[in-house]
C-alpha cells in the first residue's frame, strides 16, 4: 500500500515537472525577480491587477513616484497615486522598486529657480534635493527595496569637452548647469543612503549597451565608488529593438557592469519592432504599423537573447522589469508591439519564448 502511494506521488511529481511553469515569476524564481512598471489602471482594473499578481514579483511605478508627480510645488506633496501603488504591493506581497528620486525630466522644476526665476546656488539646490529625497524615501521605506537614485545623467552622442578642455560625458541638464560637475549625483546617493541605509541604490540609464555610453557609465560609477559614494547597482533600462543591441553587446555591457557593482537590474525592458531605441520617443520609423511574421520572429529572437544573457549573469542580476504591462499600456504606443502581453492583456507567443526557456 505504502509502495503504491509512493509510486503515485512520484507520478504526480513527474507530471508536475513536465508542466511548463505557470507564470513568469515562477519560471525565473531561482534566478531573479520578474518585474513590471504599472500605471493606475493596471492596479485598479480587476483583470489587469490579477495579471500583475499572477506574473510578477516586483513592481515599479511608471510615473507616479517621479519628482514632478509627488512634489509639484515646494510645499505641496501629492501622494495619492504613489500611495495606491505602494498599498497594492503591501497587500499582495510584491516588492516595489522606487523610480526615480532624481531625473532631469519630470523633475520638480521649481527646485532649480529662485523667486526671480534665476538659477539657485548649488547649496540651495542640494538642500532642496536632500529634503525631497529624505521625504520620499522615508515614506516608502517599509516597501521600497531599492531606488533609482539618479536617472540618465550621461549624454548620448559624440564626446564633448568642457570649458577646461576635459572630456565631459554628463548630460547638459539644469543640475549640471548649476553644479558644473558630477557633485549633484554624488550628493543624491549620499542623501538616499542617509534616509534608508537598507535600500539598494541604483544609477539607471538607457542605451547602456552602446559601447561608448557603457564606457562613460563605467568610468563615472567606478570613480564615484572609489570615492565612497554609496552606489550599489546599475540599472540597465533595456529599451531595445528587434535589430539591436546584439547579444554580444548586451553580454559585454553586463560583464563590465558586473565588474563594478554587485547588483544589476534590467529596469525598463521593451523591444520595439522598428529601429528606434533608447529612452525617448523618436517617431522616425513607423515600421511597427505593419506587423509581419518576420518582425515577430525577430522579436522572439531578441527577447530570447536578452534573457540568455540575464540568465548567464543571474549571480549579479536580481530583477528584470518590463516597461509596462501590455502593448496597450506601452509608452511607445501599441503599434510597436514591444511587450509580452497584447492589447487585450493576452500572452503573445513571445511570452512563451521568455517563460518556457530550455
Ligand atoms: O513611461 C513613461 C512615460 O509615460 C512618460 O511620459 C515619460 C516621460 O518622459 O517617461 C516614461 O518613462 C521613462 C522612464 O521614467 C525613464 N526612462 C525612459 C522611460 C521612457 O521614456
Please give the distance, rounded to the nearest whole angstrom, from the Cα atom of residue 277 to the centre of ligand 1: 13
Distance, CA of 117 to CA of 113 (rounded, Å) = 5
Find out whether 107 and 173 touch, Cβ atoms under 8 Å. no
**Ligand 1 contact via 331 beta carbon (within 6 Å):** yes
Residues near 214 by Cβ (< 8 Å), separated by ≥ 6? 208, 252, 253, 256, 257
Mutate to test the pocket of ligand 1, among 66, 69, 104, 106 (most ligand atoms within 8 A of CB): 106
**Ligand 1 contact via 243 beta carbon (within 6 Å):** no
Distance, CA of 98 to CA of 123 (rounded, Å) = 25
Distance, CA of 182 to CA of 25 (rounded, Å) = 37
Residues near 309 by Cβ (< 8 Å), separated by ≥ 6? 247, 250, 251, 254
**Ligand 1 contact via 127 beta carbon (within 6 Å):** no
User: Which residue has a Cα nearest atom 20 of ligand 1?
Assistant: 279
**Ligand 1 contact via 79 beta carbon (within 6 Å):** no
Instruction: Pick the closest to residue 61 from 94, 104, 93, 26 (CA basis).
Output: 94
Please give the distance, rounded to the nearest whole angstrom, from the Cα atom of residue 227 to the centre of ligand 1: 31
Cell numbers standing for residue 73: 510645488
Instruction: Pick the closest to residue 298 from 241, 217, 236, 228 (CA basis).
Output: 241
Q: Which residues pair with 73 in a beta bridge?
A: 76
Number of separate helices (H) and strands (E) present in the chain: 13, 10
Instruction: State how far the alpha carbon of 228 is from the alpha carbons of 134, 137, 170, 222, 264, in Å.
Output: 20, 21, 20, 10, 19
**Ligand 1 contact via 62 beta carbon (within 6 Å):** yes
Q: Is the dihedral of CA 153, 156, 162, 166 positive or negative?
A: positive
- Predicted confidence (pLDDT) per residue in 52-69, tens digit: 999 999 999 999 999 999
pLDDT of residue 206: 97
Instruction: Please report how the helices 183-195 and 211-226 are oriented relative to each other, as an axis angle in degrees rounded to 10.
Output: 60
Q: Is 322 helix (H, G, I), strand (E, B) or coil?
A: strand
- Predicted confidence (pLDDT) per residue in 158-179, tens digit: 666 777 777 789 999 999 999 9
The full length of the chain comes to: 358
Find out whether 236 and 267 touch, Cβ atoms under 8 Å. yes
Of 55, 152, 190, 208, the active-site residue reads 152
In 156-299, where do the E strands start and end?
200-205, 233-236, 239-241, 263-272
Place of cell 497587500: 91
Please give the distance, rounded to the nearest whole angstrom, from the Cα atom of residue 108 to the centre of ligand 1: 15
- In this prediction, the residues of the chain whose per-residue pLDDT falls under 70 are 1-18, 158-160, 283-289, 334
The model carries a pTM of: 0.93
Find out whether 317 and 254 touch, Cβ atoms under 8 Å. yes
Amino acid at each position: 500500500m505504502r509502495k503504491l502511494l509512493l509510486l503515485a506521488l512520484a507520478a504526480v511529481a513527474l507530471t508536475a515537472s513536465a508542466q511548463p511553469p505557470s507564470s513568469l515569476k515562477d519560471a525565473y524564481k531561482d534566478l531573479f525577480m520578474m518585474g513590471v512598471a504599472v500605471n493606475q489602471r493596471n492596479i485598479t482594473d480587476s483583470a489587469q491587477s490579477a495579471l500583475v499578481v499572477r506574473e510578477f514579483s516586483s513592481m515599479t511605478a511608471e510615473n507616479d513616484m517621479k519628482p514632478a508627480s509627488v512634489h509639484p510645488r515646494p510645499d505641496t506633496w501629492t501622494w495619492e497615486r504613489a500611495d495606491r501603488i505602494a498599498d497594492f504591493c503591501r497587500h499582495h506581497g510584491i516588492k516595489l522598486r522606487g523610480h526615480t528620486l532624481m531625473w532631469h525630466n519630470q523633475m520638480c522644476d521649481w527646485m532649480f529657480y529662485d523667486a526671480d526665476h534665476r538659477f539657485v546656488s548649488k547649496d540651495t539646490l542640494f538642500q532642496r534635493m536632500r529634503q525631497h529625497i529624505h521625504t520620499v524615501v522615508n515614506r516608502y521605506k517599509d516597501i521600497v527595496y531599492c531606488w533609482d537614485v539618479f536617472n540618465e545623467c550621461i549624454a548620448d552622442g559624440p564626446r564633448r569637452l568642457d570649458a577646461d578642455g576635459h572630456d565631459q560625458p554628463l548630460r547638459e541638464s539644469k543640475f549640471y548647469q548649476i553644479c558644473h560637475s558630477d557633485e549633484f549625483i554624488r550628493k543624491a546617493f549620499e542623501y538616499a543612503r542617509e534616509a534608508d541605509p537598507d535600500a539598494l541604490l541604483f544609477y539607471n540609464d538607457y542605451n547602456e549597451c552602446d559601447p561608448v555610453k557603457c564606457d562613460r557609465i563605467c568610468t563615472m560609477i567606478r570613480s564615484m565608488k572609489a570615492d565612497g559614494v554609496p552606489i550599489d547597482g546599475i540599472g540597465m533600462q533595456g529599451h531595445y529593438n528587434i535589430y539591436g543591441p546584439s547579444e554580444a553587446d548586451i553580454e559585454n555591457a553586463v560583464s563590465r557592469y558586473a565588474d563594478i557593482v554587485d547588483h544589476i537590474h534590467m529596469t525598463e525592458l521593451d523591444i520595439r519592432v522598428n529601429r528606434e531605441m533608447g529612452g525617448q520617443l523618436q517617431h522616425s520609423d513607423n515600421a511597427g504599423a505593419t506587423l509581419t511574421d518576420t518582425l515577430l520572429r525577430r522579436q522572439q529572437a531578441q527577447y530570447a537573447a536578452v534573457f540568455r544573457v540575464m540568465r548567464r549573469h543571474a549571480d549579479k542580476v536580481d530583477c528584470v522589469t518590463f516597461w509596462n504591462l501590455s502593448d496597450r499600456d506601452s509608452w511607445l504606443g501599441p503599434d510597436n508591439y514591444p511587450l509580452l502581453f497584447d492589447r487585450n492583456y493576452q500572452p503573445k507567443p513571445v511570452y512563451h519564448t521568455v517563460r518556457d526557456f530550455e
